[in-house]
A = this chain, B = another copy of it.
Amino acid sequence: MLYCCVRNVCKLKPSPCRVTLALQHTRRLCSSPPGEAVDQVRTLLELCVDRHYVSPGQPNTELLQRGMSCCYGPLGMELRRNLLQQWWLSVTGSTQQVFGINTLSSSKGTATDGLRIVESEQLKHILGQKELSNQQLLQKIQTLIQRSPSLRTGFLQGALEQFVPSLELVNRKLPFGLAETGLCFQPSDGSAEVTQASLVWFCPPRTSSQWLDHWNRQRLKWWRKFSLSPSDFSSSDVPEEELEEAASRGVRILYRFPWGQEPVETLWSRGSTELLHTHNGVRAKLQCRDGRKSVPHVISVTGNMDRGVMAFLSNSLQQLKKEDSKKKMLQRKVLKLHPVLAPIKVALDIGRGATVELRQVCDGLLQEFIEANISTWPGYLQTMPTSMEQLNTKYDEMGVLFTVVINENTLESGLVLVRSRDTTIKETKHISEIKSFLSTYISAADNL
């Protein structure tokens, strides 16, 4: 239904269809074999729009493909939320000392380039001063822009500034880290937003190389943990000619998209230059108690969580051939997202039987699932009649882990049908044990 709607929008507007645009972008990026990759990407993007991962009506899919933040639908929003939550837990919940911080996304710095926030009212006010010469107006505008706050492109600078107040937390002992997640802004092509997750790690100079290796291993392991085909994630050293100015070594964690490899997380070993510069070279403020009184080295770990969403969507889409009830061969599309990442864990639907009573049972189960923080799709609230087959197709494409169907049998015996996305097997379970079954299943998958 939504799909038709997207198509109609495309027909109505004189501009080319958004999906087409995104595909053209794919073609540009594609290495080989282009045809197959384009098909793969087209299928994925259509499914993402269809199943409320990505919102239609804007060049959204193109943004997402470029590793930028886009308008997410409810499922995409929840997927990114889960991904950020897992990143956070893995980085701050390790036994390493990592503290979360929050810095401002704009600052009145002395930087001369980058993105500036300009109040258009102020500009209008300047331009309205008819008594001034054009030369004076230009000067006033330059001053306005120089004094305007600039938007951050990353979290590094904020963490470097917070290093000194954080020293007391750790009693001046190294190593420790500062973590932050949120929006950053990139000055490419107008402006573009990226959801970044950042760890800035402060360690003794002599162990900085080992720490880079440590975090590289940890992060790669993390990406692979949620992946259906872990080998699509790899890590590789940044060639010397691509090193950032301050960095002595760099590693990228890459994901193999249908159109080629792209970095999902980047690690730099940055030495102490930027830290010293941020604190005006006052070494005494920065020295730590690690035997020698040295200024720490900095390792930055920066993940692009929007590209991460795209990577896991791309990684989890399986297309399987299956026979329908009329022996016709069909493509079955399943979004096999990891149980921890899947935005919806269970869908609740009703089969045959007295609707009012069945709905009451569903209401009770829904409440129980909500209280246990199990994200639930209340399919039974939809009044549109749908066959079980259509429902399964829909939920498979949404990546819903389990479908629970309540029918007249439930009212007598307390038994319900539970269908698994991954095995397609339907099991009969007692209604009282579903909640703990789901919780156990999800946490088991988490601890694998």
Q: List 13 A-B contacts (CB under 8 A).
A: A55-B101, A57-B161, A71-B104, A74-B100, A74-B101, A76-B102, A97-B378, A105-B183, A117-B117, A117-B118, A127-B138, A134-B137, A141-B141
- Complex CA distance for A363 and B191, rounded to whole angstroms: 46
Residues 1-13 of chain A, each 1 if its beta carbon lies under 8 Å from chain B, else 0: 1100100000000
Given the known interface contacts A69-B104, A106-B191, the answer about A55 and B162 at a Cβ–Cβ threshold of 8 Å is yes
* Residues on B with beta carbons closer than 8 Å to the beta carbon of A151: 117
- Which residues does A use to contact B, with CB under 8 Å? 1-2, 5, 52, 55-57, 69-74, 76-78, 80-81, 89, 93-95, 97, 99-106, 108, 112-121, 123-124, 127, 133-135, 137-138, 141-142, 145, 148-151, 158, 161-162, 164-166, 168-171, 173, 182-183, 185, 187, 190-191, 193, 363, 366-367, 370, 373, 378, 381-384
- Residue pair A190, B148 in contact (C-beta under 8 Å): yes
- Complex CA distance for A182 and B72, rounded to whole angstroms: 14
Q: Tell me how far the C-beta of A354 lies from the nearest C-beta in chain B, rounded to whole angstroms.
A: 21
- Residue pair A183, B183 in contact (C-beta under 8 Å): yes
- From the candidates B80, B100, B165, name the one contacting A56 in the complex (CB within 8 A): B165
* Residues on B with beta carbons closer than 8 Å to the beta carbon of A104: 69-71, 193
* Residues on B with beta carbons closer than 8 Å to the beta carbon of A119: 114-116, 187, 190-191
- Residue pair B168, A121 in contact (C-beta under 8 Å): no
- Residue pair A116, B113 in contact (C-beta under 8 Å): no
- Complex CA distance for A373 and B429, rounded to whole angstroms: 30
* Residues on B with beta carbons closer than 8 Å to the beta carbon of A71: 101-104, 158, 162
A contact face: mostly helix, strand, loop, or mixed: mixed
- Complex CA distance for A282 and B367, rounded to whole angstroms: 37
- Complex CA distance for A366 and B164, rounded to whole angstroms: 26
The 3 A-B residue pairs whose C-beta atoms are closest, nearest first, are A134-B134, A74-B99, A72-B102
- Chain B residue with minimal CB distance to A382? B171
* Residues on B with beta carbons closer than 8 Å to the beta carbon of A141: 138, 141
Q: Tell me how far the C-beta of A148 lies from the nearest C-beta in chain B, rounded to whole angstroms.
A: 7
- From the candidates B76, B120, B150, B382, name the one contacting A145 in the complex (CB within 8 A): B120
Q: Tell me how far the C-beta of A1 lies from the nearest C-beta in chain B, rounded to whole angstroms.
A: 5
- From the candidates B1, B103, B105, name the one contacting A168 in the complex (CB within 8 A): B1
- Complex CA distance for A57 and B278, rounded to whole angstroms: 13
- Chain B residue with minimal CB distance to A133? B134
Q: Tell me how far the C-beta of A396 lies from the nearest C-beta in chain B, rounded to whole angstroms.
A: 17
- Residue pair B383, A173 in contact (C-beta under 8 Å): yes
Given the known interface contacts A102-B76, A118-B145, the answer about A108 and B57 at a Cβ–Cβ threshold of 8 Å is no
Given the known interface contacts A5-B168, A55-B162, A80-B102, the answer about A149 and B117 at a Cβ–Cβ threshold of 8 Å is no
- Chain B residue with minimal CB distance to A4? B168
* Residues on B with beta carbons closer than 8 Å to the beta carbon of A121: 113, 187
- Complex CA distance for A141 and B124, rounded to whole angstroms: 11
* Residues on B with beta carbons closer than 8 Å to the beta carbon of A384: 171
- Complex CA distance for A185 and B173, rounded to whole angstroms: 37
- Complex CA distance for A382 and B173, rounded to whole angstroms: 9
Given the known interface contacts A134-B138, A165-B55, A183-B182, the answer about A115 and B120 at a Cβ–Cβ threshold of 8 Å is yes
- From the candidates B70, B113, B120, name the one contacting A113 in the complex (CB within 8 A): B120
- Complex CA distance for A73 and B193, rounded to whole angstroms: 24
- Complex CA distance for A158 and B105, rounded to whole angstroms: 20
Beyond A71-B104, A149-B190, 18 additional pairs, beta carbon < 8 A:
A55-B101, A69-B104, A77-B101, A95-B363, A105-B193, A106-B185, A113-B121, A115-B117, A115-B119, A117-B191, A133-B134, A134-B137, A134-B138, A138-B138, A141-B141, A149-B191, A171-B382, A173-B381
- Complex CA distance for A187 and B150, rounded to whole angstroms: 14
- Complex CA distance for A157 and B145, rounded to whole angstroms: 27
- Complex CA distance for A351 and B185, rounded to whole angstroms: 48
- Residue pair B382, A165 in contact (C-beta under 8 Å): no
Q: Tell me how far the C-beta of A154 lies from the nearest C-beta in chain B, rounded to whole angstroms.
A: 16
- From the candidates B116, B133, B168, name the one contacting A2 in the complex (CB within 8 A): B168
